[in-house]
Structure 1
């Protein structure tokens, strides 16, 4: 019997074993986004059985890609946020000077508006899965550092604590506002949300805020 995940496995239906495994992994990650991004009042745990049922695969194929549920949830989160970051960065890089903040906010809001599962996974207040909570904290710190570095480069100022504080303020403020928007506490259209976030962040472009 030829293993489907061993080296040297023959093609099946014209598809190489590595490609079949990658396809199954993608199906599992999509199922994870379905479950973790579901519109439910409280989501704390996912199960291997539930993940496999959602993906239409057996547990054998879950364990060929993931050691356990925690590793799986981390992979779902990392996949989603890396895609969001890549698309947003691409839009910002393509924007003319002075329009990069709007381009970034446009990318984030439109992606979330186009797929509510992404918004609920990254920003939803109802999601209390412990792994997701930890990942949100980790990604917020990283994004704050990156935002501070970007602001310092744009303003041509050396790194300092004021710039770092602004980075944390930007990331935390945007995340909380989007969370409130998803919950219906802020009743904006996507375009108005983009306008409001852009206007607030543009106020942080004052060089005087970062001088000691």
Structure 2
């Protein structure tokens, strides 16, 4: 009749729901294999499928290759943390917002070591992870800049953008050292320490510095 036959439910579950469920299992397996240890082995489609209990046939209905899976795992983790961090900041009074954001990030890393390793462990040298980490740094810098311009009425200019990148890079490097156990602060100590530094950098002090004007090169 010129129309495609509808795909019937299997066991009462619609086809799109089965696909979504298998995709979720593959993402969970990818996170486990990527972040389950400090020295994760090279990720393979076979290993992911074995961890998820899914055949390779179903892997390729959701992902073109293993790199696409790695990117999707990373994106899901970052999206979850960004959403919960924004919610935590929005729910806190202005003077507590830096602490609320930092506490949410640190606790997410502390509660699931796999997340900490995926985002911050320098031993994970997967090329896709390296690219995604760089992209995420830009995203979090934008969020940090938006927070500063809104909370402290600072101008949304290149000066503020550079400061946001500086802050995000410093926080990321500190948490990376903590995840790698080069920094041995407790969770509460790390939150307090990062909050103090952010509070010292943000607000009127940052605004009062103004843009930096490049000095002319010295004559030789």
TM score, norm. by length of structure 2: 0.89
Unaligned stretches of 5+ in structure 1?
1-5
Q: Of the candidates 170, 174, 187, which is equivalent to residue 171 of structure 2?
A: 174
- Conserved 8 A contact 2:142-2:161: yes
Change in CA separation of 1:204 and 1:27 when aligned onto 2, cut-off 3 Å: same
Aligned to 2:26: 28
TM score, norm. by length of structure 1: 0.92
Unaligned stretches of 5+ in structure 2?
212-220
State the SS of the aligned residue for 1:98: helix
Aligned to 2:11: 13
- Conserved 8 A contact 1:42-1:128: no
Aligned to 1:122: 119
- Distance in 2, Cα, partners of 1:79 & 1:208: 35
* Larger CA Rg, structure 1 vs 2: 2
Structure 1 residues 143-199: Cα deviation after superposition (integer angstroms, max 9, x where no partner): 112212221222212222221121011111111111100111111111111000100
- Conserved 8 A contact 2:49-2:55: yes
- Distance in 2, Cα, partners of 1:151 & 1:69: 38
Q: Which moved more, 1:101-110 or 1:202-211?
A: 202-211
Aligned residues: 206
Runs (4+) of structure 1 exceeding 6 A deviation are: none
- Distance in 2, Cα, partners of 1:99 & 1:149: 16
Q: What value does the CA root-mean-square deviation take over the aligned residues?
A: 1.5
State the SS of the aligned residue for 1:46: coil
Aligned to 1:157: 154
Q: Which moved more, 1:136-145 or 1:150-159?
A: 150-159
The reply on whether 1:63 has 2:60 as its aligned counterpart is yes
